[in-house]
A and B are shown apart, each in its own frame.
Chain A
Amino acid sequence: MKKQFAFWFIGAVLAPAMAFAGNWQLDEARSNIGFQYQAMGATLDGEFPQYQADIQLDPAKPEQASILLDVATAKTDAGNPDATAEVGSPLFFDSRRYPTARFASTRIQSQDNGRYLVEGKLSVKGITRPTRIPVLLKTEGKNQRLTGTFKLNRLDFKIGEGMWADTSALANEVRVAFSLLLTPIPIKK
């Protein structure tokens, strides 16, 4: 009887609780991390096609979530073949020495209507800077969608050294926009 109770207790209470509090994985096919930048005033759209995330999230308490996102810099699509060929070079991401750019959340503040302010550390090319990212968290069926945009100055991370430190042709400001679909990792039986 006790055993049976324990079984049902785990099944009915703990398992869903674990599912909610547990890990989430990215559905890469339905996620996107893009960026926009300006060259001679023209806006170009780039994309980070390869990334990984480690996300702990309880949709009931998103403030306690933790988000770790790693982007493979060498795979960057800069929106133009010449730029894409150049972006992994030592002058830009230096992808051989710094293959990943990382965002690690440190604090999440709740705002209104599913909006949160995620504070964290953004590390690119060996430089770590505090970064705040306003996000929107929405439930899509069993999944959660996390969207947001933020701006950064590429020179803060030495993305563009030497001749590329000149911002008259290539603007300093880069706008990053992401839409991540988080799906619950099924619990192993």
Chain B
Amino acid sequence: METNRYQASSIVLHWLMALALVANFTLGVSVHEMDLSPMKLKMLAWHKWAGMTLLALVTLRLINRLIFRPPPPEPAPRWQQRAASWMHAALYVLMFAIPFSGWLVTSAAGIPVIYLNLWELPQLLPKNLEWADGLKEVHKILNLTMLTLVIVHVLAAIKHHFFDRDNTLVRMLPFLEKRR
């Protein structure tokens, strides 16, 4: 019975990253709207630290995923199973691409990330403000894509739970009652 659930490590990583992604997305949008101030500089630094932490977490998560295969999919039409696979793959790609693109932005802007005020991360690019502007646009588009996909992902989970009444959400949320 338990085999139809995700691994505990997968569940922890999923919800931890879900929370952190939403928080850091919100932080990024807020910073974008702010005028220059010491608070903005601090929030920008926190945003970068969080992004680098998410990059490390998604790396861990990918390794975890390769070690522990996900449980077999719940009964559903073939197209939905295929769509779910593509969705998960796209989310993984974006979870890597978004922090990486942010790292490229700050590198091109000539501002190194000093992780937790302790370690200076390497600059991925030489300083070039035009590239920084272009990369910022890429970072934004990737985020809007992620936002769209996350909404679809959440809607799908809700649909499976409340309309199809299957175990799709249950296997990722251990405290929910298992159905049949």
Residues of A in contact with B (beta carbons under 8 Å apart): 39-45, 79-83, 85-86, 163-164, 166, 168-170
The verdict on B37 contacting chain A, using a C-beta distance below 8 Å, is yes
**Contact at A40–B36, with CB atoms within 8 Å?**
no
A41 touches B36 (CB 8 A): no
The complex places the Cα of A169 from the Cα of B42 at a distance, in Å, of 6
Residues A86 and B41 in contact, CB atoms below 8 Å apart = no
Flag if A41 contacts B117 (CB, 8 Å): yes
Compute how far the CA of A44 lies from the CA of B41 in the bound complex, rounded to whole angstroms.
13
Number of interface residues of B (CB under 8 A): 17
Looking across the interface, which residue of chain B has its beta carbon closest to that of A89? B36
Q: Which B residues, 8 to 38, have Cβ-Cβ distances below 8 Å to chain A?
A: 36-38
Whether the Cβ atoms of B110 and A163 lie closer than 8 Å is no
CB atoms of B44 and A40 under 8 A apart: yes
B residues in contact with A168, CB < 8 Å? 38, 42
Q: Is the interface of A mostly helix, strand, loop or mixed?
A: mixed
Contact B38 A82 (CB under 8 A): no
Number of A-B contacts (CB under 8 A): 43
Is there contact, CB below 8 Å, between B38 and A42? no
Determine whether the beta carbon of B129 is less than 8 Å from that of A81. yes
Asked if B42 and A86 make an inter-chain contact with CB atoms under 8 angstroms apart, the answer reads no
Which of A42, A85, A163 is the one whose CB lies under 8 Å from B37?
Answer: A163
Also in contact, A169 and B111, with CB within 8 A (given A40-B44, A40-B45, A81-B129) = no
Is the beta-carbon distance between B36 and A45 smaller than 8 angstroms? no
B112 CB–A CB distance under 8 Å: yes
Of chain A, the residue at the smallest CB distance from B129 is: A81
With a cutoff of 8 Å between Cβ atoms, the chain A residues found around residue B113 in the complex are: 42
- Tell whether, in the assembled complex, residue A170 and residue B36 are in contact, meaning their CB atoms are under 8 Å apart: no
Partner of A83, one of B36, B45, B117, B120: B36
Residues of A within 8 A of B39 (CB): 163, 169
The residue in chain A whose Cβ has the minimal distance to the Cβ of B114 is A41
Residue of B whose beta carbon sits closest to that of A168: B38
* B114 CB contacts on chain A under 8 angstroms: 40-42
User: Is B38 a contact of A164 with CB atoms below 8 Å?
Assistant: yes
Interface 1/0s, chain B 99-132, versus A by CB < 8 A?
A: 0000000000111111001001000000001000
